[in-house]
Chains A and B, each alone.
Chain A
Amino acid sequence: AALKDGLRSQVSAALKEGRVTPTELCQRCLALIKSTKFLNAYITVAEETALKQAEESEERYKRGQPLGILDGIPIAVKDNFNTAGIETTCASNMLKGYISPYNATVVQKLLDQGAVLLGKTNLDEFAMGSGSTDGVFGPVRNPWSYSKHYKEKSVPKSHSEDEESNWVITGGSSGGSAAAVSSFTCFAALGSDTGGSTRNPAARCGVVGLKPTYGLISRHGLIPLVNSMDVPGILTRCVDDAAVLLGSLAGHDPKDSTTVQDDFKPFELPKLTDVSKLSIGIPKEYHAPGLSSEILALWSKAADLFKNAGCKVVEVSLPHTHYSIVCYHVLCTAEVASNMARFDGLEYGHRSDRKESTESMYAATRREGFNDVVRGRILSGNYFLLKQNYEKYFVKAQKVRRLIANDFVKVFRSGVDVLLTPTTLTDAAPYTEFIQEDNRTRSAQDDILTQAANMAGLPAINVPTALSERGLPVGLQFIGRSFQEKQLLTVAKWFEKQVQFPMIQLEEVKRHDSGVFQQQKSAAFS
């Protein structure tokens, strides 16, 4: 099967026609997971259950009764979604070894449609981070670190500095999922997106990352970071696949009262030929300090692309954008402080041996179970929620959030259909460079272009656009109107087709499984 091609048009067809069997697909992915183990993309590989699911899928195909496009498709799930019988760790000592008794709604939906769950992907502890470097199982390596493009373009400073110290981060916090999709170990993966955690690693790993509208997909079973902003994210190789996944996941869930009641109709994306009726907004505030010149150039090139195709391209203003990070800091830490209160060592998870008193057991459990980032956020969150601070910080932050959301409402009301922005300020940094700064500073920088969409609950998508001078992926982001995923994805698909983002060429993985990768010409968009 041509792994780069869409699920609907290629893989599913190949399965139906028997050109490949679910078991073969699954085995091939499992082999790839093994040969790319150094990426550290997976925390848990569920080989046994995956093969069993593949076998069941195969039976269905043999009977001629597959459950749909996803039947037999190997997928991976970020390790902050509950999976019955398979460890769910949130990359934290607190939940190491924790086996949930239930499936998250999104996981259940995928399984119900025949998808094969390969395993659980790596992340920053409790999804708090933007590098996938701060989890208890170690950092995730960006597959592009090992690509032909990067190797050719990034010249090691000296020969002693080999690729061991040259590898770049995936971004995060859904870095494991992004790396898994990017390295072909699965066809699609679930991430989560609170401030950009799906789109950021998608941009850095050269895959599609969709953050749907808040309330469209159930959060039941997603271990929360910020309940009011968390959305299950979708990572795929192409926009069409994102639409397939969205169709299989969206809709009201009685177990999540914040999902919308309206019926969701899965859609196929039309092939857009005429974009002249579209109005694309370019928010000037996204020309943020620190935006690399090459991404800026890419962004304006993309705007020109739309303009040349007959689109109306207008500069718009989202004046409260630059308050979003500090506002997010207050709201996020407050909810974190609250959400993390349940980890007290009593019902589940890590429990300290300290026995002097219940309080000392709580304290030791939480100190041993959480890393500095989590503990730091709990501390600030509790500070913001104190009676004497609540009005000053939390309430104020909520008001600012409203202003940020209203910015978008105004822009969309003015006739803009979709906003076009960069997803990240730069391409992926080498790990050694990235860890020079602390988690908070990095998150503040990295979330700056993605965060506001979470504040406003809007759908947004990263589309891999080009390779940077260093041979690393760079993506652009489209932000759409609430619940207008079809429009958003349609525009994203058109753009995807125009830019012809190059296929990753993994030299050493190819040695392991030469049959899997199809060479593809890299179009010269950059």
Chain B
Amino acid sequence: VAARGCGAVWRRARQRGAVGPGPGPSAFPRGHRAVACNARGGALSAGKSGVAPWIPVVGLEIHAQISSNSKLFSGSQVQFAAPPNSLVSFFDASLPGTLPVLNRRCVEAAVMTGLALNCSINKKSLFDRKHYFYADLPAGYQITQQRVPIAVNGSLSYSLCIDNKMNQMVTKTVRIKQIQLEQDSGKSLHDDTRSQTLVDLNRAGVGLMEVVMEPDMCCGEEAAAAVRELQLILQTLGSSQAVMAEGQLRVDANVSVHHPGEPYGVRTEVKNINSIRFLAKAVDYEIQRQIEELENGGTILNETRAFDSKLGCTVPMRDKEGKQDYRFMPEPNLPPLILYDAKSLPANMNHQQVINIDWIHERLPDLPSVKREKLVEQYGILPEHSFTLLNEDGLAEFFESVVKQTQMKPKKVIGWILNDLLSYLKQHSLTVKESPVSSFLLADLLNLLEKKEISSTAAKQVLAELWKGEGKTPLEIVKEQKLELLQDQKELEEICQAVIDGQENEVIMTVLG
């Protein structure tokens, strides 16, 4: 999903005019190439003749739910799709007199994530209250880290393809402004027909890491690629399961456009984006919309917009209360969060009570970028293949497992993995784990091929049989369907002779020319 070039931007923009309800075709004339940014960076012009080019600016705020057994400040369990209000402690329901108690696991997850994103970890960070009234925010405020967050000044490198060509990958970097720990809210379900709101507090108080990315991106594809890379990192660390469909990763995009040399334009915030594909769409739509608006003499409002995935466009969000003043103040019930490193660790400190940044750093797993490098180095595969391997959960492991069990060169194995296995799985919407063909069976098959016992065509035939998942081994299928290659020259000669003997006239004609 991530590895697509920014060339897609304006192409989609063109299509939208034809497809989208939204503002209608007149707002987006066919073929009007209003904007394009490319993966090499910088603005490309277009627009109406003579108009200066537009530079889109995209920043992201990402909320990642921390993968933890219990909530950020209470002992309630964290679980997706549990019966409503079954995971609510007295604190989560804001019963008077209850106090927050910080969950160590959540802090460790944030430190891990901060380190993986090259942040500096603040040895002292603070918690603040952010106030607003909402039915699914029982205390009337959210505990967050407004003044001094746990991690700051990091960066995230991500790669994407130019013009949708897999072999033209480019690596970019987005700066990470900060990572802050904060509480999730509950969920409100509005029942308009009975004019009531149902509140589920299961999610209230679950730990979130808000990752704030600087506006270093310029199109939907970049945003999507950056988020995909972040998602992979979080999943590798285990700090978040980061499944967007389950709301464990939520992305808000800040979008603005301006002319070169001019200050940034007024930005809008796009919310309600629940897949990476929609992120790219939403950002590109919003860029396009702003350019159209400005070129038609309009202005951009500093507003929050929602992405409507069905209509493929962004629409202003109804915000009755207008500009909110969150009336931030320090959370008085939580002392400053103090972290230590090897140097600052006090000698007589109970290790259960302290978090040692260096200790966590030493135990970080290989991040996706390192894993990719290792795959390329170790197996001689192409860099773009390493991306595909990591993008699918479990695919790299599948590949490595096959490689271990066959004599076939990894460079050849990768073709089978990407062209045959992956496309089959995609076609049938299966995950790697759900594959009917195990790495063992595939290795078995590739070994037959490698030993020249079957032809490549036959191997594909066998694989087609294997997909059925009937429990037969490749060899059994080969025998059943008589797909063996003949290795015995004498036998082969006899067969040929028999053919020739049976076609005497044709042979004569051929010989005579």
Contact = CB atoms under 8 A, between A and B. Distances in A.
Contacts of B140: 338, 340-342, 344
Interface string A252-296: 001111100100000000000000000000000000000000000
Name the interface size band of chain A.
35 or more
A386 B327 contact: yes
A255 B96 contact: no
Contacts of B141: 338, 341
A427 B329 CA distance: 38
B133 interface: yes
Interface in A382-397: 382, 385-387, 390, 394
Interface string A85-107: 00010100001000011101000
Majority-rule SS of B interface residues = loop
A385 B327 contact: yes
Interface in B84-122: 90, 93-102
Contacts of B333: 227, 256-258
A335 B332 contact: yes
B156 interface: no
Contacts of B101: 254-255, 257
B133 A387 contact: no
Majority-rule SS of A interface residues = loop
A224 interface: yes
Contacts of A220: 97-99
Given A255-B101, A347-B138, A387-B325, A342 B96 contact: yes
Contact of B100 (A222, A226, A257, A337): A257
Interface string A329-366: 00000110110111110111000000000110010000
* Chain A CB within 10 Å, residue with most, of B99, B135, B139, B328: B99
Interface residues of B, number: 30
A82 interface: yes
A492 to B, nearest CB: 29
Contacts of A82: 95-97
* Chain B CB within 10 Å, residue with most, of A224, A254, A382: A224
Interface in A80-130: 81-82, 88, 90, 95, 100-102, 104
Nearest to A361: B135
B97 A341 contact: no
Contact of B99 (A90, A219, A390): A219
B102 A257 contact: yes
A347 B89 CA distance: 12
A221 interface: yes
A85 to B, nearest CB: 14
B504 to A, nearest CB: 95
A101 B88 CA distance: 13
A336 to B, nearest CB: 11
A49 interface: no
A90 B99 CA distance: 18
B267 interface: no
Contacts of A387: 325, 327-328
A342 B139 contact: yes
B95 A341 contact: no
A76 to B, nearest CB: 18
B327 A337 contact: yes
A56 B141 CA distance: 43
B131 interface: yes
Given A219-B99, A362-B133, A342 B94 contact: yes
Contacts of B99: 219-220, 255-258
Nearest to A101: B90
B316 interface: no
A223 interface: yes
Nearest to B320: A359
A358 B327 contact: no
A43 B417 CA distance: 75
Interface in A106-158: none
B93 A347 contact: yes
A228 interface: yes
Nearest to B88: A347
Nearest to A388: B325
A387 B326 CA distance: 8
Contacts of A348: 93, 95-96
Contact of A100 (B94, B97, B197, B335): B97
B44 interface: no
A222 B97 contact: yes
Contacts of A359: 133
A348 B93 CA distance: 9
A102 B333 CA distance: 19
A382 B335 contact: no
B97 A221 contact: yes
Contacts of B131: 337-338, 341, 385
Interface in B205-254: none
A394 B98 contact: no
A478 to B, nearest CB: 27
B334 interface: yes
Nearest to A366: B133
B59 to A, nearest CB: 21
Contact of A394 (B138, B329, B353): B329
B129 interface: yes
A385 B330 CA distance: 11
A256 B334 CA distance: 9
Contacts of A362: 133
B199 interface: yes
Contacts of A390: 327-329
Contacts of B94: 342, 347
Given A342-B138, A346-B138, A334 B95 contact: no
A466 to B, nearest CB: 37
A156 B82 CA distance: 69
A382 B138 contact: no
Nearest to A215: B335
Given A257-B100, A348-B95, A102 B90 contact: yes
Interface string A38-60: 00000000000000000000000
21 contacts: A81-B97, A82-B96, A102-B95, A219-B97, A221-B98, A223-B97, A228-B332, A257-B335, A334-B329, A335-B329, A337-B131, A337-B327, A338-B141, A341-B133, A341-B140, A343-B96, A346-B135, A347-B94, A347-B138, A348-B96, A386-B327
10 cross-chain pairs, A with B, having the tightest CB-CB distances, nearest first: A341-B140, A385-B327, A227-B332, A228-B332, A342-B94, A223-B96, A221-B97, A342-B139, A82-B97, A223-B97
